[in-house]
Amino acid sequence: MRKPLVAGNWKMNMTRATGQALVAELSGLPAAVEVVVCPPFTLLAEIAAHCPAGVSTGGQDCFWVPNGAFTGQISAEMLDDAGARYGIVGHSETRGRFGKLDIDAGDVGYFAETNTTVRRKMEALMRVGLVPILCVGETLAEREAGRTEDVIREQLEGAFQGFTEGDMAKTVVAYEPVWAIGTGQTCAADEANRVCAFIRQWFPAGVQNQVRVLYGGSVKAENAAELFGQSDIDGGLVGGASLDAAGFRRIVEAAAP
Ligand code: PEP
């Protein structure tokens, strides 16, 4: 039986004061749901130290080398040292699109992440015992071109190349259609479930029942129960709605079996 997981991605939001106040309001969440908050790096150690029982922390990204001359980067070892237990990898805001970046034209992949760098980050997290939350998903143009499954297959093949079945089973995959992130445009629950099932079935048979597959993209208190009630959706990766304690609590409660 897979334990439901709800992870909040705070992105570039929150201060020490507001972050602490938010997690202080997250006590007493249902024990049947694993809850993770992913603050900015600067808050990670502090939030990890102040999380109520049942809530753990994750990083939003990492670099794959343990330490060295890599200005501006944070390694998996540093996430571990700060108290994190999870790490988001391959978010659409860190991936690159089509090898070029045009922010003025609305590109969302600001940091030129490729499937290869995603894999290195996955390996780095596993090296220190952190659980990767791998984000995969198609853009609107890719969906309209009928390429959703192809794009996701490529992302999975890239991220898990060389992984043993045992290591695959320890990871979490979040299906995050790029067109649904931060737009208020949620993927219909049955369609989200169909793609999550496709992701699950990509794994070897022995892994399929163990790997947790989340949905992310404009999850809110109002739509969480329908999404989490689907057979192949094991919880959610929540951006904007994780910044409000009351709303996030309702989302977590919606994931309880
Ligand atoms: C995300 O950034 O992972 C996300 C799902 O954002 P939002 O919930 O705001 O769409």
pLDDT digits (tens, 9 = 90+) for 170-214: 999 999 999 898 888 889 999 999 999 999 999 999 999 999 999
- 90 C-beta closer than 6 A to ligand 1: no
State residue 101's pLDDT score.
60
Stated pTM of the model? 0.95
Residue 193 lies in a domain: yes
Instruction: Identify the residue whose C-alpha is closest to ligand 1 atom 6.
Output: 239
Place of tokens 């309702």: 250
> Residue 237 Cα, ligand 1 centroid: separation in angstroms?
7
d(CA 173, CA 213): 5
CATH number of the domain residue 204 falls in: 3.20.20.70
- 236 C-beta closer than 6 A to ligand 1: no
1-29 mean pLDDT: 96
State residue 186's pLDDT score.
86
- 58 C-beta closer than 6 A to ligand 1: no
One-letter identity of residue 120: R
State residue 65's pLDDT score.
97
First to last CA, the chain: 11
Whether residue 46 contacts residue 57, with contact meaning beta carbons closer than 8 Å, is answered with no
Active site residues: 91, 176
Closest CA to 130 of 167, 176, 91: 167
One-letter identity of residue 74: I
State residue 112's pLDDT score.
75
Q: Which domain holds residue 172?
A: 56-215+228-233
One-letter identity of residue 116: T
Tally of structural domains, the chain: 1
pLDDT digits (tens, 9 = 90+) for 96-141: 754 556 666 666 667 778 889 999 999 999 999 999 999 999 988 8
Whether residue 211 contacts residue 201, with contact meaning beta carbons closer than 8 Å, is answered with no
d(CA 24, CA 50): 7
Residue 101 lies in a domain: yes
Rounded to 5°, the CA angle 244-246-252 comes to 95
Residue 173 lies in a domain: yes
Which atom from ligand 1 is nearest to the alpha carbon of 135? 3
pLDDT digits (tens, 9 = 90+) for 31-84: 999 999 999 999 999 999 999 999 999 999 999 999 999 999 999 999 999 999
Residue 86 lies in a domain: yes
Which atom from ligand 1 is nearest to the alpha carbon of 216? 5
One-letter identity of residue 207: V
Residue 30 lies in a domain: no
Place of tokens 């919606």: 254
Residue 45 lies in a domain: no
Residue 198 lies in a domain: yes
**Residue 28 pLDDT > 80, yes or no?**
yes
- 176 C-beta closer than 6 A to ligand 1: yes
State residue 182's pLDDT score.
83
Residue 25 lies in a domain: no
